[in-house]
Structure 1
Amino acid sequence: MMIAAFARESRLSVDAVRLYVRRGLLHPEIGTKGGLRPYQIFSALDLEKARIIRAGQALGLPLKEIGVFINKRAFDGEEDDVVIAFLEEQRNRVTGRISELERLVSFVDAKIAWLKDPSIGASPPYPQ
């Protein structure tokens, strides 16, 4: 598929797709049409890589680290020990972030309750 269709399908902007191509995260084929500006043709494999990039960004990973992961992954359905360890590390990071966010939500709820009714006691302390 062409870049515009790929951007829509991957839910990325065209500029983001171009950036990922420049950074070597995506490797579209170059079509023969287009004269001076040949077309980039993206595959289903590129679409899978784009989804991995989006997931990595949602985890807060830098593009360089996402690229390392993509290059380690064979995309043949077989995950090696390095990829499994990487995914376990990311799961642990996300779990830690979830715990931190839950503490922040508890604080915000307590602060809202206190602001609505200061007679319930002292203002809740900010989380550490």
Structure 2
Amino acid sequence: MLIAAFARESRLSVDAVRLYVRRGLLHPKLGAKGGSRPYHMFSALDIEKTRIIRAGQALRLSLKDVGTFINARSFKDDEGDVVITFLTTQREHLVQRIAESERLISYVDAKIAWLKDPSVGPSPPYPH
């Protein structure tokens, strides 16, 4: 499919698709038509890659890290260890971010309580 149809199918903007091509995350085939700017021909595999890109962005990965993961995958049913290692690492990062968020929520709650009634003691310290 051409870039506009691919953008619709993948629910990305045409500009985002072009960015992912420039960054090497997507590798469409170049069509014979289009002169000095040949058509990009995208496949179902490219749609799968956009799902991975979106998941990586949700995990707050850099596009470089997403690209490393995409390039390491074989896109076969038997990709095993690469995906398990990657997902395990990402899960550990999520757990760390959750713990940090919980510390910040506790701080904000304590700060709100202190602002409402400073007589409860000193202002709570910002978490480290």
Q: TM-score range by the shorter chain?
A: 0.7 to 0.9
**Shift of the alpha carbon at 1:95?**
0.9
Which residue matches 2:38? Answer: 38
Please, what TM-score do these two structures have when normalized by structure 1?
0.82
The corresponding residue for 1:120 is: 120
For residues 25-64 of structure 1, what are the structure 2 equivalents within 5 Å?
25-64=25-64
- If the length of structure 2 is used for normalisation, what is the TM-score? 0.82
Write the letter of the residue equivalent to 2:53. I
Unaligned runs of 5+ residues in structure 2 are none
CA RMSD of aligned residues (A): 2.1
- SS at structure 2 position matched to 1:124: coil
1:88 and 1:2 mapped to 2: Cα distance? 35
Rounded to whole Å, the distance in 1 between the matches of 2:75 and 2:82 is: 14
2:4 and 2:67 map into 1 onto residues whose CA distance is 22
What is aligned with 1:17? 17
Question: Identity of paired residues, percent?
Answer: 73
Residue ranges of structure 1 left out of the alignment (5+ in a row): none
> In the comparison of the two structures, how many residue pairs are matched?
128
- Residues 7, 14 of structure 2: 8 Å contact kept: yes
